[in-house]
Amino acid sequence: MLELLAAMVSWPALQRRGRIAAATIVQVSGSAPRPVGTTMLVSEGGEVLGSLSGGCVEGAVVESAREALDTGFPQRNCFCYTDRDAFAVGLTCGGTIEVHVQPLLPGELDGVSLPGCGTPNAVVRRLGTGHTRGPSIFFATGASALASDAGFAALAGMLADDAGNPPSAASVHAVSLRLQALAAGGGTSLLELGATGEWCELPAATLLVESRLPAPRFLIFGANDFGEAMIRQASLLGYEVTLCDPRPAFAAQARFAAAREVVTAWPHRYLRGEARAGRLDGRTVVCVLAHDPKFDIPLLEFALTLDVAYIGALGSRLSHAKRVDALLEQGVAPERLATLHSPIGLDLGAGTAAEVAVSIAAGVIAHRNGRSAQAQLSNGSGAIHATPPAAAIPEPVHA
């Protein structure tokens, strides 16, 4: 549901405070267009906010949502591919999704737009199996907010039985700790309660927790054409982008204004300061585009000591060989050098600055997902840039 927050504030159905149902993907198998946690809101008038599949099951989900609003009972529907009827409701991509449709209580979505409270980046929802009975949603501005008095009270209400009796404080506390741990990791998780196992004393229910971590950082070193193009690509991927260059005349150019931050400092000193301040983590990308040894070597020497997601450096294979020799002379261990992506990017035959930025972005994505290691330029030996085809030589014309 977090992906809908910005649009929810101005959604007419919500402004009218009409009845609304939330349809959420709770299980995915095979190839499916959207992941678990994806939500679509449906008003009693059939208005829709969001999408679950790109169009192939939405019509059926709307009907299910309106029926749930009429009866007050949630529904759980399975949609999968079928070739028996070309017009049957299902996923043409061949996967299977299970969708939980739940009527919401009046006012449950009001918390998304409270002035002065900040934008929620965590939400806990109870996906019940019976008639709507008490609150089912709690919005929070972080995992720590789930441990607040308000979060504790909301969770106790969600876990109440059919008579409205909340569980013991110890049970609520135990569930709260689990939810805080899940929220702190980002992403979406499901927690099954009741029946058997660890939470057998609680009413049967499923808790869905969604959270969003702050945007990961993408540090670009080098105020040049490649840096300008890389700012746009990294921003498009959702990174918080910083451009660093020690030369004020270069860094101050207006074309770099799209970066979240432009810093004029020696690259290795800036990176060292950010590390000491705790502003780097395992999702941080370090992208060295200066292509100048006096900047690159001290920067990479320190960068290769950090636990970050990706370190890459621009340059030819000859430049890379010289860079490796210089780093070895500085005492960088060969096993640390093996983590350096240089030449940087995927082997796309990129030539222009914009193409190189696409190649780098693709390399970061592939590395993050553990894919296409063989396509990384750093693992190859051929030409980096595409060789244009030779012009055809016409056959001689004889009289």
Mean pLDDT is highest, among 174-188, 248-262, 370-384, for 248-262
pLDDT in tens, 42-63: 988 888 898 887 666 778 888 8
The answer to the question of residue 243 being in a domain is yes
Q: What is the mean pLDDT of residues 271-290?
A: 95
Q: Do 270 and 373 share a domain, yes or no?
A: yes
The answer to the question of residue 133 being in a domain is yes
Q: What is the mean pLDDT of residues 376-399?
A: 49
Specify the 3-state DSSP secondary structure of 145.
Answer: helix
pLDDT of 397 reads: 47
- Choice between 97 and 196, residue whose per-residue pLDDT is larger: 97
Q: In the chain, how many domains are there?
A: 3
Domain end marker among 104, 139, 174: 104
Q: Do 228 and 329 share a domain, yes or no?
A: yes
The answer to the question of residue 384 being in a domain is no
pLDDT in tens, 127-139: 876 655 667 888 8
pLDDT of 130 reads: 65
Q: Do 369 and 230 share a domain, yes or no?
A: yes
Contact 41, 8 (CB under 8 A): yes
Domain end marker among 213, 246, 278: 213
Q: Do 179 and 40 share a domain, yes or no?
A: no
- Choice between 285 and 132, residue whose per-residue pLDDT is larger: 285
Total-model pTM = 0.70
Q: Do 226 and 373 share a domain, yes or no?
A: yes
The answer to the question of residue 394 being in a domain is no
50-56: list long-range contacts, CB under 8 Å, 24+ apart: 50/3, 50/4, 50/7, 52/23, 52/25, 52/97, 52/99, 53/79, 53/91, 53/97, 56/89, 56/90, 56/91, 56/92
Contact 93, 81 (CB under 8 A): yes
Q: Do 368 and 222 share a domain, yes or no?
A: yes
pLDDT of 91 reads: 45
pLDDT band at 225 (very low <50, low <70, confident <90, very high): very high
pLDDT band at 195 (very low <50, low <70, confident <90, very high): low
pLDDT of 384 reads: 44
DSSP 388: P
The range of the structural domain enclosing residue 145 comes to 105-213
Q: Do 63 and 24 share a domain, yes or no?
A: yes
Contact 70, 46 (CB under 8 A): no
Contact 101, 76 (CB under 8 A): yes
The answer to the question of residue 4 being in a domain is no
pLDDT at 98 over 80: yes
pLDDT band at 166 (very low <50, low <70, confident <90, very high): confident
Q: Do 223 and 338 share a domain, yes or no?
A: yes
pLDDT at 111 over 90: no
Domain end marker among 84, 104, 124: 104
Q: Do 365 and 226 share a domain, yes or no?
A: yes
Q: What is the mean pLDDT of residues 330-340?
A: 92
Count of beta carbons in the 10 Å neighbourhood of residue 345: 27
Specify the 3-state DSSP secondary structure of 97.
Answer: strand
> Comparing 111-115, 150-154, 221-225, 268-272, which segment has the lowest mean pLDDT?
111-115
Distance in angstroms (rounded) separating the CA atoms of residues 90 and 57: 6
The answer to the question of residue 28 being in a domain is yes
The answer to the question of residue 393 being in a domain is no
- Separation in Å, CA 177 to CA 71, 148, 152, 181, 279: 34, 11, 10, 6, 26
Closest CA to 288 of 246, 341, 349: 341
Closest CA to 211 of 123, 296, 277, 325: 123
Instruction: Calculate what percentage of the chain has a pLDDT beyond 90.
Output: 33
The answer to the question of residue 390 being in a domain is no
Q: Do 122 and 147 share a domain, yes or no?
A: yes
Q: Do 263 and 369 share a domain, yes or no?
A: yes
Q: Do 227 and 359 share a domain, yes or no?
A: yes
pLDDT of 399 reads: 41
Relative to beta strand 217-221, strand 285-288 is parallel
- Separation in Å, CA 16 to CA 70, 199, 218: 18, 38, 41
pLDDT at 217 over 70: yes
- Separation in Å, CA 112 to CA 123, 156, 252: 10, 20, 38
pLDDT in tens, 294-326: 999 999 999 999 999 999 999 888 888 999 999
- For residue 247, what is the domain's CATH number? 3.40.50.720
